[in-house]
Amino acid sequence: MSPKSSSKAPSPTAPVRGALALLVLGLAESGLAIFQWMQLLTLREGGSTVCGISETVNCETVWNSAFASRVHEMLGIPVAGLGVLWGLVAVGLSALYLAWARAGRTVRPAANGLRLVALVGVVSALVFASVSFSVGVVCPTCLGTYVLVAAFAGVALRGLPGPLAPASGEWGATLQWTVGIALAAFLALLLPGRATPKASDSAASLLPPAPVASKSADGTPQASVPPASLEDFLKGLNAEQKQFIADGLAQYRASTPLPAAAPARKLYGPPDAPVKIVEWTDPKCPHCKALVEEMAVLKQRVPQGKMSLEARQFPLDGSCNPALPRRGPDAPSVRCIAAKAQICLEGAPDYWELREKMFAAQAFLDTERALEIASSGSVSRMQLDACMSSPATAAKLQEDSAYALKHHISGTPLVVVNGRETLPSAPLLYALVMADGNPSAPAFNVLPPPRPMSALADDHAGHGH
């Protein structure tokens, strides 16, 4: 046979059953991750998720964890988005394998890439499982992900031809296709990832843990384990945080206390609490959302009876707030609708829960969503509509506005403690509550001297909205 007539024998057809199984598993994981992402959006809108079953079986706790927040902040996509990314890479490489096998080409770059994807999936599953364990919950949808990843790894190891590790000359093509598909998928997910609201990186994370109730050997409840002392709390802060508390106390001491301009309509805590907090918020103000979330944590972290909380409205819309000029049509905006809805909920037993739910949905809040949340509890939509259109509600909103003007409100949120304007900071409020409102308590001696008031004004000038 002449050299010209001799040709290289065609590569034997690669087996495709394993790749088909990996394609199905990749599609299943992508679908589950997309479902998780949609549930995350539901959570950020203030809704309930199907996996928020109990305190210990709850995916919401994992999605709101500090680890999940850091992942979203660093990569631009949430943890659920990483599941979609992994699934898309798995699907892409599986499809590539099948196309090459049909064309009679070598499938080694795709097979090697699929095994690398399987390894990344197993390591990621172990990391996420440890995060769930650290926060003390079980994430049911995450368990489904772990099962799919484990099955994928088993098929990738046993159902694909060739050695498990790439040969020395195969790394280039393997990484080229694997990284290329991953990069394309990442860029495609970056836009929806950045549009997904993040869990607030709240200053409330600096607060000590909530007091824990103890039990005797026979199960009889005992007195609660007291929270850390004020001095221990302050000593546990870093230098920057201590300086912030010192500066906030200086401003608090310098302000003149004013008597309450109106009686409280809705109060959390006893009316004779040593620390009385009044807050004014706007439904679409991001700093107000952070404050509401921090106050929800603060209520759990301080001993009962030491503080009371009164929530008032200051919507940044002149069509319903007489303190602001009218700048557009008189049609009610979401700011006005949500503020009036909160006033109408003041007599409801689930007021605080619904209020926090409304602020949690801030990124997606429109007039219909605000009404939907407000009427999702003990107050019906018919009752809500009647209340919101009543002159009494308009009068209460005007009362809130006039009360805020007594404190020369310059932006939201406005926080007043025992008649003095205070920075809207959970650690500072916690310190004042634990000191029974006394800004000269001996425990504050561990703080550094405050900075000049002019520097403080510059630092906090951009906080209000």
Mean pLDDT of the 319-323 span: 92
Q: Are 145 and 33 in contact (CB under 8 A)?
A: yes
Mean pLDDT of the 149-164 span: 95
pLDDT at 434: 94
The pLDDT tens digits for 360-401 are: 888 778 899 999 999 999 999 999 999 999 999 999 999 999
pLDDT at 159: 93
Four-residue CA torsion sign, 202, 203, 206, 210: negative
The phi and psi torsions of 381 (rounded to 5 degrees) equal -65, -40
Is residue 312 scored above 60 in pLDDT? Answer: yes
Measured at the alpha carbon of residue 231, what is the angle toward residues 70 and 212, in degrees to the nearest 5? 65
Q: Where in the chain is the domain with CATH 1.20.1440.130?
A: 17-195
pLDDT at 65: 76
C-alpha closest to that of 178 among 87, 114, 106: 114
Measured at the alpha carbon of residue 70, what is the angle toward residues 65 and 72, in degrees to the nearest 5? 95
DSSP 196: S
Residue with tokens 């001297």: 449
Is residue 285 scored above 50 in pLDDT? Answer: yes
Higher pLDDT, 139 or 277: 277
Is residue 459 scored above 70 in pLDDT? Answer: no
pLDDT, mean over the chain = 87
pLDDT at 428: 95
Structure tokens at 304: 């009962």
Beta partners for residue 280, in sequence order: 312, 414
pLDDT at 10: 42
On the question of a cis peptide bond just before residue 413, with omega within 30 degrees of 0, the verdict is yes
pLDDT at 271: 95
Its pTM stands at 0.62
The pLDDT tens digits for 169-205 are: 999 999 999 999 999 999 999 999 998 877 655 566 6
Q: CATH classification of 17-195, choosing from 1.10.3210.50, 3.20.20.80, 1.20.1440.130, 3.40.47.10? A: 1.20.1440.130
Is residue 215 scored above 70 in pLDDT? Answer: no
Q: Are 192 and 78 in contact (CB under 8 A)?
A: no
Measured at the alpha carbon of residue 92, what is the angle toward residues 88 and 97, in degrees to the nearest 5? 150
Specify whether domain 222-459 bears CATH 3.40.50.970: no
Is residue 3 scored above 60 in pLDDT? Answer: no
Q: Where in the chain is the domain with CATH 3.40.30.10?
A: 222-459
The phi and psi torsions of 224 (rounded to 5 degrees) equal -65, 145
